[in-house]
Amino acid sequence: MGSETPLRLPVIDFSKEELKPGTEEWESVKSQVRKALEEYGCFEALFNKVPAELRKGIVGAMEELFELPLQTKLRNVSKKPFHGYVGQYPQAPLYESMGIDDANISQNVDSLTSVLWPQGNPIFRVMKYKGPQTTDTQLGLHPHTDKNIVTILYQNQVDGLEVKTKDGEWINVKLSPDSFVVMIGDSLYAWANGLLYSAYHRVMMTGNEARYSAGLFSIPKAGYMIKAPEELIDEQHPLLFRPFDHVEFLKFYYTEAGQRESALKTYCGV
């Protein structure tokens, strides 16, 4: 009896030179992205244009960042819940993360680096999952859906990310050095009126090596109401969620009621 082929995320190649708006290749990739987000809520994006030296530098900078003393890391604060330093939680002892709000604005990055390295540091949401120092598999981060619009993740070559399918099976995500994970969150799921899939995912760790990942999270500004467009609502697709403010939803999510299953449905489901 032959063994079944392991499940894997769709792989979409963004490296081709002919991938330009209006081309056949562009339309093909658009179709692949839509299908992947409808079925899996995420995909592996292959992009081989990032130099190996830069990739190595990113991972090295993350290692250096998390080696800072805890008191220094605690200076990474944010008014938004879980947007600054996160760690030291008994429920997820292997997990640490740090983040910069509006990381596309250089002064925000400069502000964080000046707080963490007052004497300056020419190198610069990053996450670390400690190796559990055992061959037993241990939880690195509990199953959850992202609450933002879109997440793009890059990791070192230590696996651990798992994504849950609609059928309840877990896909062990194994990435090449040229790959990124693109995943939608609950905010885009609500905006699309459920036509896309917001996948549960978790991190499971084994062995001695730490897993480092860097994530770019697109997040609506406070006060912006997430609302499904009229053209996505009809008899076959009735409205699933009332309009909501993402930041207010985040505040709810970190309450006892928000930690139960289907936080989005509990918060603003129709």
Q: Is residue 2 part of a domain?
A: no
- DSSP letters, 28-49, are HHHHHHHHHHHHTSEEEEE-TT
Q: Is residue 125 part of a domain?
A: yes
Q: Is residue 4 part of a domain?
A: no
Q: Name residue 124's beta-bridge partners.
A: none
pTM of the model as a whole: 0.83
Closest Cα partner for 116 from 133, 99, 128, 101? 99
pLDDT, tens only, 23-33: 999 999 999 99
- C-alpha to C-alpha distance for 172 and 211, rounded to whole angstroms: 14
- CA 190 to centroid of chain Cα atoms: 17
CB 243 within 8 A of CB 249: no
pLDDT of residue 72: 85
Q: Is residue 5 part of a domain?
A: no
Q: Is it the case that residue 109 has pLDDT exceeding 70?
A: no
Helix (H) or strand (E) holding 52: helix 52-66
pLDDT, tens only, 225-235: 999 999 999 99
Closest Cα partner for 73 from 117, 7, 110, 34? 117
Instruction: Tally the domains of the chain.
Output: 1
- Work out the pLDDT band at 126, boundaries 50, 70, 90: confident
pLDDT of residue 53: 92
Domain with 188, as residue range(s), is 11-268
Q: Is it the case that residue 119 has pLDDT exceeding 70?
A: no
- C-alpha to C-alpha distance for 248 and 53, rounded to whole angstroms: 41
pLDDT, tens only, 62-79: 888 888 888 888 888 777
CATH of the domain at 77: 2.60.120.330
Q: Is residue 6 part of a domain?
A: no
Q: Is residue 193 part of a domain?
A: yes
Q: Is residue 177 part of a domain?
A: yes
Q: Is residue 207 part of a domain?
A: yes
What rounded mean pLDDT belongs to the chain? Answer: 87
pLDDT of residue 121: 38
The amino acid sitting at 140 is G
pLDDT of residue 99: 79
pLDDT of residue 113: 58
